[in-house]
């Protein structure tokens, strides 16, 4: 499973962003300081790991909630809403809503995503593990 698209609404300084990722490999997001690179990484982390990656102050000042929608190459839609707490739902044409994304994602032996930030760049390593 690869993240193919990410939509972010009202998260920190990002009012609205739509990001398309292009297959396996390293995805590089470049920007000046305070442009939202860390927020994108946090959006991916909270989508993949759920409430344990929540930190106070994630909602844009003046907004009631933040929303992250991630789409994967295997047609999953993971919707995360942050308000007083973190709520997640996962859906596609094969699943009903309100399944736990962490459980489904963690059951896949092929999925891995690593995120790191260095010198003004955000790197997302988005790949399939080799199947033996």
CATH code of the domain containing 10: 3.40.50.300
Model confidence over 14-63: pLDDT tens digits? Answer: 999 999 988 777 778 888 888 888 899 889 888 887 777 788 889 999 99
Contact (CB, 8 A) for 65 and 81 = yes
Instruction: Evaluate whether residue 60 is within a structural domain.
Output: yes
Give the C-alpha separation, 29 to 123, whole Å.
Answer: 6
> Could you give the percent of the chain with pLDDT greater than 70?
69
Q: Is residue 47 in a domain? A: yes
Is residue 27 in some structural domain?
A: no
Within a domain: residue 74? Answer: yes
Domain enclosing residue 41, as ranges? 3-20+33-128
pTM: 0.73
**Residue 25 in domain:** no
Question: Hey, is 12 helix, strand or coil?
Answer: coil
The number of domains in the chain is 1
Six token digits for residue 4: 């193919």
pLDDT for residue 66 is more than 80:
yes
Q: Identify whether 26 is part of a domain.
A: no
Judge whether 91 lies within some domain: yes
Instruction: Give residue 60's pLDDT.
Output: 94
pLDDT of 107 strictly over 70: no
Domain membership flag for residue 50: yes
CA distances 104 to 1, 63, 117, 119, Å, are: 11, 30, 27, 34
pLDDT of residue 59: 93
């Amino acid at each position: 499973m690869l993240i193919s698209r990410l939509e972010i609404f009202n998260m920190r300084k990002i009012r609205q962003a739509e990001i398309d990722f292009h297959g396996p490999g390293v995805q590089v997001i470049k920007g000046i300081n305070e442009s939202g690179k860390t927020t994108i990484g946090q959006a991916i982390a909270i989508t993949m790991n759920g409430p344990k990656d929540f930190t106070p102050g994630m909602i844009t000042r003046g907004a009631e909630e933040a929303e992250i929608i991630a789409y994967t190459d295997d047609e999953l839609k993971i919707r995360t809403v942050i308000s007083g707490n973190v709520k997640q739902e996962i859906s596609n044409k094969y699943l009903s809503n309100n399944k736990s994304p962490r459980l489904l994602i963690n059951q896949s032996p092929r999925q891995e995503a690593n995120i790191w930030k260095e010198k003004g760049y955000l790197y997302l390593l988005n790949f399939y593990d080799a199947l033996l």
